[in-house]
């Protein structure tokens, strides 16, 4: 992975990591450090994409979209440039209406091992 990347280009040419192909949120991992991991995530359509990560705090930088986003019981409208902090084990995700899409840079700590099941999807409960 290069130390320098362009978010707009990543979103435009997003190739979902094989570990996320069947998920409502498609991700491509862009940074894989010893203590943190970052990915670019894209969601389109109104499928339930709410989820939790039991072991990871997450910081989102909204790249595209003007959508409702849920963190716990709080829902706010987010747009490009907004930051969202999600504590570990907190349900969260965009709540899209038909035709909406959303893209964000997600930074996870600690390291996000893609060989493990890190995400629990609300739709699977």
Per-residue confidence (pLDDT) for residue 106, from 0 to 100: 97
Give residue limits of the domains in the chain: 7-113
Q: pLDDT tens-digit profile of 16-61? A: 888 888 899 999 999 999 999 999 999 988 889 999 999 999 999 9
pTM (two decimals): 0.91
How high is the mean pLDDT of the chain?
Answer: 93
Q: pLDDT tens-digit profile of 64-115? A: 999 999 999 999 999 999 999 999 999 999 999 989 999 999 999 999 888 8
44/100 Cα distance (integer angstroms): 6
CATH architecture of 7-113: Sandwich (2.60)
Per-residue confidence (pLDDT) for residue 115, from 0 to 100: 87
Per-residue confidence (pLDDT) for residue 1, from 0 to 100: 67
């Amino acid at each position: 992975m290069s130390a320098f990347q362009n978010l707009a280009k990543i979103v435009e040419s997003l190739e979902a990591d094989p570990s996320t192909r069947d998920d409502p949120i498609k991700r491509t991992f862009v940074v894989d450090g010893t203590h943190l991991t970052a990915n670019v995530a894209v969601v389109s359509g109104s499928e339930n994409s709410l989820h939790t990560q039991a072991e990871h705090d997450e910081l989102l930088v909204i790249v595209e979209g003007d959508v409702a986003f849920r963190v716990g019981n709080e829902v706010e409208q987010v747009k490009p440039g907004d930051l969202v902090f999600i504590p570990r084990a907190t349900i969260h995700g965009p709540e899209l209406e038909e035709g909406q899409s959303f893209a964000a840079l997600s930074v996870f700590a600690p390291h996000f091992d893609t060989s493990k099941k890190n995400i629990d999807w609300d739709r699977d409960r």
